[in-house]
Chains A and B, each alone.
Chain A
Amino acid sequence: MTATTLPRRRFRALRLSPLARREALWGYLFLSPWIIGFLVFIFVPMIVTFVFTFTNVNLLQDVPLAFVGLDNWQRLLSDAGTWRSLGVTLKFAALQLPVMIVVPFAVALLLNSPHLRGTGIFRVLFFMPYVVPFVAGVFVWQSMLNSETGWINGALERLGVAEPPNWLNDTGWIYPGLVLLGIWGIGGGVIVNLAGLKSIPSELYDAARVDGAGWWAQLRNVTIPLMSPVIFYSLILSIVEVLQYFLVPLVLKNGNGEPGGATLFYNLYLYKTFYTFQNMSYGSTLAWLLFGITVLVTFFVFRISRRFVYYAGER
């Protein structure tokens, strides 16, 4: 009995009254631009990308289209270039991620300080470089980081550093150099962190202060736990972003990977495979590997987030 009534009840719930059906039709109608766009530009391309990995599509060579089985995937496993470029991306991410989490948080703390005068002006100025087109930002910072004439090394020399680094041409300094070069992108994170800080009820700080908590204890026991959802959100977005990082080295080094292959990022390798060499099939294989890695990493971070993200309220 129950076995037959259950599905029927669910079925009945889906049968809508004429009024509800009209409403649903309007809803789908309004959604249709996105649904069509999703199918044409996202869903079908994803499937096609996957199918491409089993074929030999190359827009430069006039070979007949054929299924090549797992050839592309086998090439992937034995292709040292892929794994080297993945290593480059991960090495950079290890440096870039903490900076993209900590620096916007620290700037937001500064901007949220009750002692700061002229908060509005500082907020605008810290955010402003965020709207600078990144190509312009790359050339500005390339000049700033110039080992001989740049201001960064000029300041370091004045502080007594005898041999300041050759930021963008030394394999040992290129990643810190790229992190500095991307520092103008913190604006979005600053605003999000700042809004998060403003939403923390001040009673909690009052209570902490009554208990004798100083600045550091308040930060550790009130601010950071309550900010953990915001930090988590920034972390996920930053991970997705850093795994796709390649436009800066493409512009900065013309995509040649200098110095010594240190800027041949995974996505740059992918871009060259499909755009410079027009090898759509191997490019697709690389794209699916990136997709897989992104899904795995975000899933992993979501799993461990239960331990460190504190949701006030129902969640």
Chain B
Amino acid sequence: MALTSRFRRLGIGRPGDPRPAGRRNLRMSFAVTFIAVVAVAAFLSPLLRSATIALKNTDQLTEIDAPLWPATPTTYELEGRTYDVYTVPIDGTNRELALVKKGQKESDFIDPANPDAGLIHWVGSWRSLNHVFRLDPQWNNFSDVWELIDYPRLLFNTIAIALIGMVGVLLSCTLVAYGFARFRFPGRNLLFTILIATIFLPSMVTLIPTYTLFVKLGWWGTWLPLLVPTFFANAYDVFLLRQYFLTIPRDLDEAAAIEGAGPIRILRSVIIPQAWPVIAAVAIFHIVYSWNDFLGPLLYLSAKPELQTLAIGLARFEGIHFSDPNRIQAGVLMTLAIPVVVFLVFQRVFTRGIVITGVEK
């Protein structure tokens, strides 16, 4: 121990050391952070690409020398005629001039800022010149998609299914986790093992009879097959809640029990008030899960466009408008915006939840 502390005083960093000292470490910091910046930029670049496409129209997307950002060539109107504006190098400076008379070897330009100055003669091929672009984002792509896929309806459906399911998951999983965390009964370990084993069960092995059952019950084409099962708990969330409940000291339970509180009362006034972080994590997990869910809505709602969710609506939209990349990417952004914002707002709660399920096993 004495040795390690001496190393530390010498400025030889250890993992987790917040500020390693020395010039060599400064260089290391720069290198490692640079790698991280490049990696994260590459990792998120598809999102940037999606945004730039969503803000363009077809012409802007296919224009040969168009820049990355949504841009339109600047034009200049004079006496009812429209001229393209180019960047022209004259006497060592670049000037933005409107091309009025095209020629093979030499052309005539006019300065839009000072049209009265008359024609400016320039020697050289105008084809070698670059257009002047101005920022011209096509926000209407978003409003088009809003109407084309009936976005308000899909958004309402997605939110409603996510929130009702969230209530179901919170109610059922809290009760079950409380049962596993606080009560002793024969077969508890066996039941818990079975619960965990269901995580590894391929869903297809239970899906066919469940699907057949829902069809026979007349639930096909309704939200019921998506909502009813959430009220019967699931392994992930029960596990997460139970792990957290186990960390809450029993002293308070026992004190409440001595004062005559029953199990439900203890759950409501002792356990739940102390478990908000994990309850919030489960709630957010479910919203993200539900937003992402594709198979369920696909199986049960494919014939009912008015009941579908954003995920299905987006896939359907892509199937019809596959040759319209601008609107597809606008739809993509409108589908992913809410879960991403929810994550960014609650990211601490979210990552803590994953750590509990993933590591403390």
Contacts and interface: CB of A to CB of B under 8 A. Distances in A.
Given A244-B203, A251-B294, A135 B314 contact: yes
Nearest to A279: B208
A42 B17 CA distance: 48
A136 B336 CA distance: 7
B47 A206 contact: no
B179 interface: yes
Interface in B164-209: 172, 175-176, 178-180, 183-186, 188, 191, 194-195, 198-209
Interface residues of A, number: 102
A26 B263 contact: yes
B325 A143 contact: yes
- Contact residues of A: prevailing secondary structure: helix
B31 A188 contact: no
A40 B44 contact: no
A43 B255 CA distance: 39
A16 B263 CA distance: 19
A145 to B, nearest CB: 9
A199 to B, nearest CB: 7
Determine which residue in A30, A36, A38 has the highest number of CB atoms from chain B within 10 A of its CB, and name it.
A30
Nearest to A283: B208
A41 B210 contact: yes
A298 interface: yes
Determine which residue in B14, B25, B232 has the highest number of CB atoms from chain A within 10 A of its CB, and name it.
B232
B176 A31 contact: yes
Interface string B17-40: 110100001001101110110011
Interface of A: 14, 16, 20, 23-31, 33-38, 40-42, 44-46, 48-49, 52, 57, 59, 107, 110-118, 122-129, 131-137, 139-141, 143-144, 151, 183-184, 188, 191-192, 195-196, 198-200, 202-203, 205-207, 209-210, 230, 233, 236-237, 240, 243-244, 247, 251, 254, 267, 270-271, 274-275, 280, 283-284, 286-288, 290-291, 294, 298
Interface of B: 3-4, 7, 12-18, 20, 25, 28-29, 31-33, 35-36, 39-40, 43-47, 49-50, 53, 172, 175-176, 178-180, 183-186, 188, 191, 194-195, 198-213, 215, 229, 231-234, 238, 263, 288, 291-292, 294-295, 299, 310-312, 314-315, 318-319, 325, 328-329, 331-333, 335-336, 339-340, 342-344, 347, 350-351, 354-355, 358-359, 361
Given A37-B234, A191-B354, 6 more contacts: A34-B232, A52-B208, A110-B35, A111-B36, A131-B340, A200-B15
